[in-house]
Structure 1
Amino acid sequence: MIVKEILASVEVIPDPYIKSVTYAKIGERLAKARDGSYKTAFLKALETAKEIDDPVKMFRALLSVGYSLGRAGLKSSKRIYLGVLEDSRVLPAPPRDVIMRTAAAYMLALGEVGEAITYALEVNDRTLRNEILLEIIRTNTRMIGREQLKVASRIRKSKLALEYIDDEPYRSKALLELIKAYLALGSYENGISLILEIEVKEWARHAFKDVAFYLKDREVLGHYIDSLEAVANGLIEKFGEEFTEELALAFALSGEGVSAAELIRRLENSDEVFVKIALDLLERDHNVLPAFISALEEDEAELVGKAVMNRILERPELGGWEIIKAIGKSTSSEEVWAKIARYYVITGELEGAMKVGSLLRDERLRSIVMADIAHHLVKNGDIERAIDAALEVRDPKFSSILVSEILIKALEQELPGRVKQWNGSKH
């Protein structure tokens, strides 16, 4: 009884479009509840839609009714859409484009990708048509990511939609979506090969990074590094040498330090780029920095080691023992080792600093490090070890001055406030 009253009450709605949509939504819910009154509701929805004077509103109402029919699982939905497809041809292009876009969106929401493409291709405006086709591919990719059934069919439909996208940057964006679909499918080589078809530099960069990071997360990047290096070479040939740095960064961020270093060495300003990328990694993801540093040659490692250690000494929170270890192993530069010793000191690892300092042959650097260690030992109240550290300085004069300073500071700490300047005898 209540259902009949609800259906009867819809008649009080004055706007025919809203009235038609309301009947359709009621019909959808009744059909899902297996209440036979759904037929009446949908019939009323169709009758009301066809009474609308404005043809654009009428077609929109019919599409909404068809959508509700589709959600209710009723096949008559597609017949309504085909009717709108044919009957709307009397409309001029702009309003019909809006109708076809709505039809494509409804079909896509129902999971009917093939039908969505059909209606998208009816859109006359090139930009709008490309936008709709791109959205179809995006939605299809998300569906692939959530399900493993009918994946091959979805891939084919995405490729079909891609064939009709005839302008940039829509085509490049669509290729990126198709690449994501191949990755979700586990078809990594197909995904990698598509990167070279992208014609817009920005989206080629996005695609390269997305693929590299995805393969890294799946712990299979090493198996496909040769293919990615070939793609990198192809992209550099297509977009120019300036693209080399961006691809090298992508390799470095994905943990492939060797591939990154090989690309950077091609550049005339390679020294500058090595430092720039190393500092970028330090800020963004210093877990991948050791692999990058370990891939460097001696002169490169010295240059990068100095820059990275300077930044870490400015901001010790950026440091990490894996980074320090990688720098120490990659270069024999005593200037870099002195900076490493300084890091040991400021982190309280004085034993480590002593070991590094004792290996330094450069008297100036050795003196600086041992003086630093000695001063920190004094602050900690360890006078004997502070003197031992000072005596490790090879320059006798510097060592003597250092020991003298340590003893005076030790006395000042021992007798705070009691050591006063002598003003002469009082007689």
Structure 2
Amino acid sequence: MIVKEVLASVDVIPDPYVKSVTYAKIGERLARARDGNYKTAFLRALETAKEIEDPVRMFRALLSIGYSFGRAGLKSSKKIYQGVLEDSRILSPPQRDEIMRTAATYMLALGEIGEAITYALEIANPKLRNGVLLDIVRANTRMIGREQLKAAYRLRKSKLALEYIDEEPHRSKALLELIKAYIILGSYENGISLLREIKTREWARQAFKEVSFYLKEREVLGHYIDSLEAVAQELIEKFGREFTEELALAFALSGEGVPAAGLIRRLENSDEVFVRIALELLERDHDVLPAFISALDEHEAELVGRVVMNRILERPELGNWEVVKAIGKSTPSEEIWAKIARYYVLAGEFEGAMKIGSLLRDSRLRSIVMADVAHHLVKEGDVERAIDAALEVRDPKFSSILVSEILIKALEQELPGRVKQWNGSKR
């Protein structure tokens, strides 16, 4: 009884558009519940829609009704849409374009990719048409990721939509979606090969980066480095040598230091780029920085190591032991090793810092390191070890002064508040 009461109550809605859509939504729910009253609801929805005087609102209502038909699993939804397709030709191009865009969106939501493309192609405005086709390709890629049983079908439909996208950056964006689909399906070579077809620099960079990351996540990046390097060279020829740095960064962020370094070495300002990329890796993902540093030659490593250690000493939270160790292994520079010793001190690893200091041949750097260690050990209350560190300084004069300072500071710490400033009185 309640169903019939609800259906009867819809009639009190004064707006025929809202009324027809409401009947359709009720019909959809009744059909799902296998209640025979769904036929009555849908029939009233169609009858009410035809009473709408404004043709644009009438077509919108019919599209919404058709969508409810589709959600209910009724094949007649396509007939409703076909009727709108034909009858809407009376509208002006801008009005009809919006109707066709809505039709494509509804069909896409129903998973009817072929029909969605059909309605998208009816849109006269090139920018709007390309945008809708791009939305279709994007949605298709998401569906491929969720249900791979229909992957081949969806891939064909994405290719079909791509054929009709004739403006940038829509086409490049759609190519990226198709590349993602290939990668999801494990067709890596096809995905990599499509990178060549992207004609917009921004999206070529984005696509190259995403492909590198996808392959890294699937732990197959190493198998396709040669293919990626070949594509990188073609993209550089297409977009200019300045594009080299962007591709090098993509390689470096993927943990592939060797091809990244190889690209950078082609640049006239390679030293500047090595430093810039190293600092960006430190900020964005320091876990990939060791692989980048390990790919550098001695000169490059010294250049990068100095700047990176300076940044880490300024902001210790950016560093980690893997980065510091990679820098140490890549360069014999005692200046950089002194900075590494400083990092050890900040981390409380005094034994490691002393070991580094004892190996330094440069007396100035050795003194700096040992003095640093000694001062921190005094703060820790370990006077004996602080003196041992100070005595490791090769310059006897500097060593003597350092030991003197340590003993005085140790006394001040031992007798807090007991050493008062003399006020001139003999008593």
Q: How does 1:368-379 map to 2 (within 5 A)?
A: 368-379=368-379
2: distance between equivalents of 1:21 and 1:415?
A: 87
For residue 14 of structure 1, give the secondary structure of its aligned residue in structure 2: coil
**TM-align CA RMSD:** 1.7
Q: CA offsets, 1:394-421, max 9 Å, x none?
A: 2222222222222332333333444467
Q: How does 1:357-376 map to 2 (within 5 A)?
A: 357-376=357-376
Q: CA offsets, 1:319-350, max 9 Å, x none?
A: 21111111110000000000011111111111
For residue 214 of structure 1, give the secondary structure of its aligned residue in structure 2: helix
Q: CA offsets, 1:224-254, max 9 Å, x none?
A: 1111111111111111111111111111111
1: distance between equivalents of 2:38 and 2:326?
A: 71
Q: How does 1:55-134 map to 2 (within 5 A)?
A: 55-134=55-134
Amino acid in structure 2 at the alignment position of 1:76:
S
2: distance between equivalents of 1:372 and 1:7?
A: 85
Q: Quickly say closer, same or farther: Cα 1:70–1:397, change in 2 above 3 A.
A: same
Q: Quickly say closer, same or farther: Cα 1:27–1:380, change in 2 above 3 A.
A: closer
**More off after superposition, 85-94 vs 100-109:** 85-94
What displacement does 1:7 show? 2.1
What displacement does 1:102 show? 1.1
Q: Quickly say closer, same or farther: Cα 1:386–1:12, change in 2 above 3 A.
A: closer
Find out whether 1:53 has 2:53 as its counterpart: yes
For residue 348 of structure 2, give the secondary structure of its aligned residue in structure 1: coil
Q: CA offsets, 1:263-287, max 9 Å, x none?
A: 1111111111111111111111111
Q: How does 1:1-400 map to 2 (within 5 A)?
A: 1-400=1-400
TM superposition score normalised by structure 1: 0.96
Deviant stretches of 4+, over 6 Å = 421-425
Q: CA offsets, 1:182-217, max 9 Å, x none?
A: 111111111111112111111111111111111111
Find out whether 1:410 has 2:410 as its counterpart: yes
Amino acid in structure 1 at the alignment position of 2:248:
A
2: distance between equivalents of 1:60 and 1:424?
A: 99
Q: Quickly say closer, same or farther: Cα 1:19–1:382, change in 2 above 3 A.
A: closer
1: distance between equivalents of 2:13 and 2:240?
A: 63
**More off after superposition, 65-74 vs 408-417:** 408-417
Q: Quickly say closer, same or farther: Cα 1:421–1:67, change in 2 above 3 A.
A: closer
Q: Quickly say closer, same or farther: Cα 1:35–1:362, change in 2 above 3 A.
A: same
Q: CA offsets, 1:348-389, max 9 Å, x none?
A: 111001110011001111111111112222222323322222
What percent of counterpart residues are identical?
83
2: distance between equivalents of 1:426 and 1:40?
A: 114
**More off after superposition, 368-377 vs 109-118:** 368-377
For residue 36 of structure 1, give the secondary structure of its aligned residue in structure 2: coil
What displacement does 1:12 show? 2.2
2: distance between equivalents of 1:346 and 1:15?
A: 73
For residue 409 of structure 2, give the secondary structure of its aligned residue in structure 1: helix
For residue 149 of structure 2, give the secondary structure of its aligned residue in structure 1: coil
Amino acid in structure 2 at the alignment position of 1:295:
A
2: distance between equivalents of 1:337 and 1:398?
A: 21
Q: Quickly say closer, same or farther: Cα 1:381–1:99, change in 2 above 3 A.
A: closer
Q: CA offsets, 1:24-60, max 9 Å, x none?
A: 1121111111122222221221122222222222211
For residue 34 of structure 1, give the secondary structure of its aligned residue in structure 2: coil
2: distance between equivalents of 1:410 and 1:83?
A: 94
Q: Quickly say closer, same or farther: Cα 1:404–1:74, change in 2 above 3 A.
A: same
Consecutive unaligned residues of structure 2, counting only runs of 5 or more, are none
For residue 296 of structure 2, give the secondary structure of its aligned residue in structure 1: coil
2: distance between equivalents of 1:379 and 1:76?
A: 83
2: distance between equivalents of 1:146 and 1:109?
A: 15
2: distance between equivalents of 1:19 and 1:416?
A: 86
For residue 177 of structure 1, give the secondary structure of its aligned residue in structure 2: helix
Aligned pairs, how many? Answer: 427
1: distance between equivalents of 2:4 and 2:280?
A: 68
TM superposition score normalised by structure 2: 0.96
Q: Quickly say closer, same or farther: Cα 1:240–1:424, change in 2 above 3 A.
A: same
What displacement does 1:6 show? 2.3
Q: Quickly say closer, same or farther: Cα 1:341–1:11, change in 2 above 3 A.
A: same
2: distance between equivalents of 1:323 and 1:188?
A: 31
For residue 358 of structure 2, give the secondary structure of its aligned residue in structure 1: helix
Amino acid in structure 1 at the alignment position of 2:344:
Y
